[in-house]
Amino acid sequence: MLDVLDKAAISAAVERTGADTIVHLAAILSAVGEKNPALAWNVNINGMLNVLDVARDAKLRQVFVPSSIAAFGPGTPLERTPTDTVLRPTTMYGVTKVAGELVCNYYVQKFGLDVRGLRYPGIISAETPPGGGTTDFAVAIFYEAVRTGRYTCFVREDTRLPMMYMPDCIKATLDLMSAPREQLVHHSDFNVGAMSFSAGELAAEIKKHVPKLEVVYAPDFRQAIADSWPRSVDDSAARAEWGWAPEHDLASMAADMIERLRVRHAAGTL
């Protein structure tokens, strides 16, 4: 474990482990970032610069730095948002993601560092609890459906966002990192999609497994963030340049999530 703002600690970890690749996932997400924008800027930008500089100076093979659909904002087409389009985010997290994409692409061009990145949609996992993001509702609803059968959702029922099941997120990340470099036109700013659904459609799918689930919709400050993001993305560049193809849809994700969370609940680890 280390502090991503401690460059010497990152360098020492690379030396100690002999790592040749860094997958840099440490970041302050959108909702927490709006409560502390200075912290979000410091961690997301300076932490990333530390990782890039250590990778450059240690001549590492590759670096992965994720971006996010949070890089988009007003003025961007909301349906089938293109990979190459207007990027005017309204959250500090989104600003750090746009800046991150530009800096990572700069390190590719200026230093020849093999940096790659994906604009992750909302990621849903049965292992990782919600972590301060605006898409947390799509994770928390599963956990509460299994724990209590009741969930108060912090966005409107009709709020639709691009989402992805964690196994597909890992697959996309590994597929991108193993693609031949000469095939890539983009580097750190690929759209990657799997599915899009509204909070209401998600609740209806979960009710097929938890019929008694009660969902109340009580939008809070995160509604405005969600409203600034795409409803769906165009990931044709990812499909063309490194063969992206998702394996999970809403039905298969919901069935697997409920099954896994029920096992954890029975074991007392939920």
Q: Least distance in Å: CB of 27 to ligand VAH?
A: 8
Q: Counting beta carbons within 10 angstroms of the beta carbon of residue 9, is it exposed (0 to 12), middle (13 to 18) or buried (19 or more)?
A: middle
Catalytic residues: 93
Beta strands in 83-236, from DSSP E residues, in sequence order? 115-116, 118-120, 122-124, 150-153, 160-165, 190-191, 195-198, 214-217
The residue among 9 and 32 lying less far from ligand VAH, judged by its C-beta, is 32
Minimum distance from residue 67 beta carbon to ligand VAH (Å): 8
User: What are the residues whose beta carbons fall under 8 Å from the beta carbon of 20, sequence distance 6 or more?
Assistant: 60, 61, 62
Q: Cβ closer to ligand VAH: 217 or 229?
A: 229
Beta bridge partners of 64: 23, 116
Residue 96, H or E segment: helix 92-111
**What does the alpha-carbon distance between residue 134 and residue 254 come to, in Å, rounded to a whole number?**
19
- Taking the complex as a whole, the smallest distance from the CB of residue 149 to ligand VAH amounts, in Å, to 25
Nearer to ligand VAH by Cβ, of 60 and 118: the residue is 118
Bridge partner list, 22 = 63
List residues binding ligand VAH (CB under 6 A): 29-30, 68-70, 93, 120-122, 133-135
When CB distances to ligand VAH are compared, the closest residue is 133
Q: Which is nearer to ligand VAH, 27 or 55 (CB)?
A: 27
In the complex, minimum distance from the CB of residue 233 to ligand VAH, in angstroms, rounded to a whole number? 10
